[in-house]
Structure 1
Amino acid sequence: CSRFSALMCPLFLYIDEIVSLALFDACCSFNGPNFDKIEYILTASFNKQKMLEYNSTRGNWIGFTDYSIVASTFWNKDPLDRLERAMEIKLMCFDNRDSLTFVLISPDGRHQAVLVCSAYNFYPKQIQITWLRNDQEVTEGVSNTDVIPDGELYYQFHSYLEYTPTSGERISCMVEHVTLWEPRIIVWNNSLPEGEKTKIVVGLCGLIIGLVIFISGFIYHKKKKKVLGSIPA
């Protein structure tokens, strides 16, 4: 699951002199043989208690408390809510879908193979790629490009490993970035034909502050409307 850390945003709600802390977490999971099937999950928690969850596979909200069950029922009937969720999926999953490309390059005459591990469309620019042979770091035969801006805020980075294949060994590429919850390891499948690319989708994304405000404001509006509607005239 590729999470958007910026979507865990504090929101203070001042209702009836009670201060509540709301946290929002969005997650895009990429599945299928070409990683083209996306499951989007959005959760809302208040005061560390999970209240609501939207799952694009189910296509609806579910609530975990009396209030949130009422809210989820309302949102599941709201055409505007479905439109907003579809917009989030496009902006946060499809438009921010990034890829690591593991490529076997033709031999250059000096070594039997050159592997390239490339990271695209990530932000911020600080990134670390480490080569592993049988889970041990490899430093010999490794070279890296500079972190290259693509002109649209995001960056790309390429790391090369020149090596002589040995039967039974495991070659992998480990990527570390602030937007990854843990290092991502991609194992080279040496059964692939030379030059074939294996794409592994990960969530190297920037901070989508505008969308955080949009989601937070929407949930706040619904909660406030519910509370105000319960006050006797």
Structure 2
Amino acid sequence: NGEGDPKPEPEGLGVGTILCPALTAVFQFLGKFECYFTNGTEKVRYVHRYLYNREQLAMFDSDVGVYVGFNPLGEKWARCWNSDPEFMERKRAEVDIVCRHNYRLYAPFSVERRVPPSVSISLVPSSSQPGPGRLLCSVLDFYPAPIQVRWFQGQQELSEHVVATEVVPNGDWSYQLLVLLETPPRRGLTYSCQVEHGSLEHPLKMPPDAARSKMLTGIGGFVLGSLFLALGLGFYLRKKVRGGSPWETFLS
């Protein structure tokens, strides 16, 4: 081979990296395999890239069927590989050997994996706004990540004053999402949280009765707490005027 001619590809699959340490720099040669799937394995595209220091030199694309170079060296490699019929036949077969084969191995616990979310509604206090609190819809432990969560007041969707976190990975192949209704719940109205996810045949709606019960419980607790606070403060002020311990009057 002349200077700059490509050597035959090494056997095996994966990503190869060659690091050449020097006093002032690191040089990296990278081979990168990519598989793109449409409707399972109905349509598969296989791409093999060669990069040097983040610059792409040459690429094989199964949709094109030949190598393409992106600079003088990559073009020289592409001409060399494309001129070898036996080598190119093996290369075109890698769309099945690499992509379709690995899809069958990994799809059951990746692409096809479905875990339904756990959904709950809670009343959380607000430090910045008055009122009994805010309704929070917690959507936990679902897979895959794409999901849609919406708040309803009765049958009407509440598209405003809704704040959501990003879909957060738990680190165990599951995700979580929190969606807060910023406006305080109004007594006598029904609120529900609706979740749409690939693991669900139909949208999952947190039962309105449960949401209403949680809301009324929270409001009731807030009102009772305020009432006891007012009563205690009244006893304290009255006793302070008369003298003596306020607890003696409260407990008597």
Please give the TM-score of this superposition, normalised by the length of structure 2: 0.38
Highest Rg: 1 or 2?
2
RCO comparison, higher one (Cα < 8 Å, 6+): 1
